[in-house]
């Protein structure tokens, strides 16, 4: 009996010690958990503040990245991280890959976020993922079927994948909502040629734009005014002359193409984008000396405008 009481007492003592230890361990765990959570919340607050201030994006990316490893479903932080991550560049374009992964995850959580889907679409286009770009563009177009930027990315992605029939249809859809966009019109001509359209049809398509394509006066008001008078006098804008030259090239008439491209290069109404396209067209036609001269002129004009505005 004495032995039983002694054994029982020891068991009670051991159990009591075990409970004390367990309680102490649980308390320590809770304290540790609260401390860790407080640390992550501090990183979140400091990272969001740095991101909104915009003066230390690297710090914001670091802090928000640490936070997201533990709380990967915080939508507000994901949105801010996806916005600033591309601004902190790394070798091998790792910053773009990271941003794409975050946007993909964000859109799984919130598929209704149209602006973030557009951002992912632009990254797919810039990074050279045409298949993903087409799928994402289709999603964007479900809600905004006439968005010019999305239609353009989709058309160029289809062309890059050599899905030529679809690319021509997509390019025409792009040009229909953005008739003043020279890139849209040029892609239409390129895809017509790639799809084996007759030379006459390519030229007719370009000629139909004679009264449609106008030059933008916004790039330089002096050149814009002069270009407007010039276009009125000759009946052709620089944009039209460029497109007409490309059509001649696509139709297999390089000499005629060179004449049109020279007219576009001399036209005072050509804005920076059109003149850059003219440079590329000259290179494509083997007009390298003229291309280099125009490029130097373009650089000089840009430098002059910057000096006048400063």
Return the top range by mean pLDDT from 48-62, 70-84, 286-300: 70-84
Cβ atoms of residues 132 and 147 within 8 Å = no
What pLDDT, on a 0 to 100 scale, did the predictor assign at position 51? Answer: 86
List Cα–Cα distances, 276 to 135, 211, 230, 261, 291, in angstroms. 31, 22, 20, 12, 9
What pLDDT, on a 0 to 100 scale, did the predictor assign at position 221? Answer: 43
What pLDDT, on a 0 to 100 scale, did the predictor assign at position 241? Answer: 93
Q: Decide if domain 179-310 falls under CATH 1.25.40.
A: yes
Asked if pLDDT for residue 229 goes beyond 90, the answer is: no
Count Cβ atoms below 10 Å from residue 263 Cβ, excluding itself.
18
Asked if pLDDT for residue 111 goes beyond 80, the answer is: yes
What pLDDT, on a 0 to 100 scale, did the predictor assign at position 233? Answer: 47
Return the top range by mean pLDDT from 35-49, 181-195, 225-239: 181-195
Cβ atoms of residues 77 and 101 within 8 Å = no
pLDDT tens digits, 33-65: 677 778 878 888 888 888 888 888 899 899 999
Domain boundaries, the chain: 179-310
């Amino acid at each position: 009996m004495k032995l039983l009481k002694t054994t029982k007492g020891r068991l009670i003592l051991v159990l009591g010690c075990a409970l004390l230890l367990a309680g102490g361990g649980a308390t320590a765990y809770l304290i540790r958990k609260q401390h860790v959570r407080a640390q992550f919340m501090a990183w979140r607050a400091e990272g969001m503040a740095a991101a909104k201030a915009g003066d230390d994006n690297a710090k914001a990316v670091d802090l928000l990245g640490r936070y997201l490893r533990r709380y990967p479903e915080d939508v507000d932080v994901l949105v801010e991280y996806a916005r600033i991550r591309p601004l902190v560049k790394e070798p091998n374009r790792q910053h773009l890959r990271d941003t794409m992964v975050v946007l993909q995850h964000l859109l799984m959580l919130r598929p209704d976020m149209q602006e973030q889907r557009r951002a992912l679409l632009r990254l797919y286009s810039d990074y050279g993922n045409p298949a993903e770009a087409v799928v994402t563009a289709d999603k964007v177009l479900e809600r905004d079927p006439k968005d010019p930027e999305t239609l353009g990315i989709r058309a160029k992605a289809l062309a890059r994948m050599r899905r030529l029939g679809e690319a021509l249809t997509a390019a025409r859809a792009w040009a229909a909502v953005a008739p003043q966009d020279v890139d849209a019109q040029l892609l239409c001509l390129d895809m017509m040629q790639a799809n084996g359209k007759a030379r006459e049809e390519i030229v007719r398509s370009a000629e139909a734009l004679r009264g449609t394509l106008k030059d933008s006066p916004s790039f330089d008001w002096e050149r814009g005014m002069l270009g407007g008078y010039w276009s009125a006098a000759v009946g052709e804008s620089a944009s039209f002359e460029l497109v007409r030259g490309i059509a001649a090239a696509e139709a297999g008439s390089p000499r005629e193409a060179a004449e049109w491209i020279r007219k576009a290069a001399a036209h005072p109404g050509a804005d920076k984008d059109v003149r850059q396209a003219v440079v590329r067209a000259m290179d494509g036609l083997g007009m390298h000396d003229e291309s280099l001269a125009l490029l130097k002129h373009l650089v000089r004009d840009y430098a002059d405008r910057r000096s006048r505005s400063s």
